[in-house]
Amino acid sequence: EAQVTQNPRYLITVTGKKLTVTCSQNMNHEYMSWYRQDPGLGLRQIYYSMNVEVTDKGDVPEGYKVSRKEKRNFPLILESPSPNQTSLYFCASSLSWGAGNTIYFGEGSWLTVV
Amino acid sequence: TQLLEQSPQFLSIQEGENLTVYCNSSSVFSSLQWYRQEPGEGPVLLVTVVTGGEVKKLKRLTFQFGDARKDSSLHITAAQPGDTGLYLCAGDYGNKLVFGAGTILRVKS
């Protein structure tokens, strides 16, 4: 089954404790991205990757890091989480970038930083 | 300020009614997409519109892209409780997908 898998789905952590949210897709997609969703703001892009070893900042990259060492994985790293990073996070992928490509989203990761 | 403004933010209607959701911007988009998101799940793509003036239909849903490719609308005919959810528009802006804040639709039976 074609899917984007995120882990963990739910996490409560403390300020400053490094954490990683993993994302894996089994569709051989080149394009992957991370979004955060907050009430009244919709989804905002954090980082995206056009292909392996190619990553770029989205609209809200501060406080986050990513890596794309292999095509299927695109982990999101919070080096020193803060309460304003409490949010619902989505990983997404598509075959490539462009209007003809369907973007597939993971089920989301609820992160609470206390 | 959102690049894409969606309206209304909330909509609560009775089963059988018609409704329209709007997505507006001052920027031109090469394409625009509509998604539906249910609680606990990621957004699911409904449609992509590419050509100015384009109209696409998906059963009771009609999507229109403005002639200038700056706005779009989603019209639902005879809404059903199963249409309840969060509807999001998103525009292709360079290498990024920019989302509106969403419209929460509730259809009461």
Predicted pLDDT of residue A75: 98
Say how many Å lie between the first and final Cα of chain A, rounded: 36
What average pLDDT does the segment A7-31 reach?
Answer: 96
As averages over each run of 10 residues, the pLDDT of chain B (109 residues) reads 87 97 93 92 93 95 95 97 96 84 96
Model pLDDT, residue B95? 74
Of A78, A9, A22, residue with least CA distance to B42: A9
Q: Determine the pLDDT at residue A85.
A: 98
Shortest CA distance from B49: residue in chain A: A99
Cβ within 8 Å, pair A40-B48 = no
Query: Is B42 in contact with A90 (Cβ distance < 8 A)?
Result: yes
Look at residue B68 in the predicted model and tell me its pLDDT: 94
Q: Which of B6, B40, B45 sits opposite A103 (nearest CB)?
A: B45
Instruction: Give me the pLDDT at residue B74, please.
Output: 98
Interchain contact, A48 vs B88, CB within 8 Å = no
What is the predicted pLDDT for the residue at A97?
A: 82
Span A32-51, average pLDDT:
93
Which chain A residue has its CA at the smallest distance from B31's CA?
A99
- Structure-model confidence comparison of residues A1 and B99, the more confident one: B99
For the segment A20-49, the average pLDDT, to the nearest whole number, is 94
Residue A96 identity (one-letter amino acid): S
Where are the strands (E) in A1-114, listed by range?
4-7, 10-13, 19-25, 31-38, 42-51, 54-57, 65-66, 76-78, 87-94, 104-105, 109-113
C-alpha distances (whole Å) from A112 to each of A6, A78, A81, B2 are 16, 12, 10, 25
- The stretch A42-56 carries a mean pLDDT of 93
Question: Does residue A107 come out as left (phi exceeding 0), alpha (psi in the -120 to 50 range) or beta?
Answer: alpha
pLDDT tens figures, A53-110: 899 999 999 999 999 999 999 999 999 999 999 999 999 999 988 777 889 999 999 9
Q: How far apart are CA A37 and CA A103, in angstroms?
A: 16
Taking the CA of residue B71 and the nearest CA in chain A, the distance in Å comes to: 16
Residue A1 has pLDDT above 80, yes or no: no
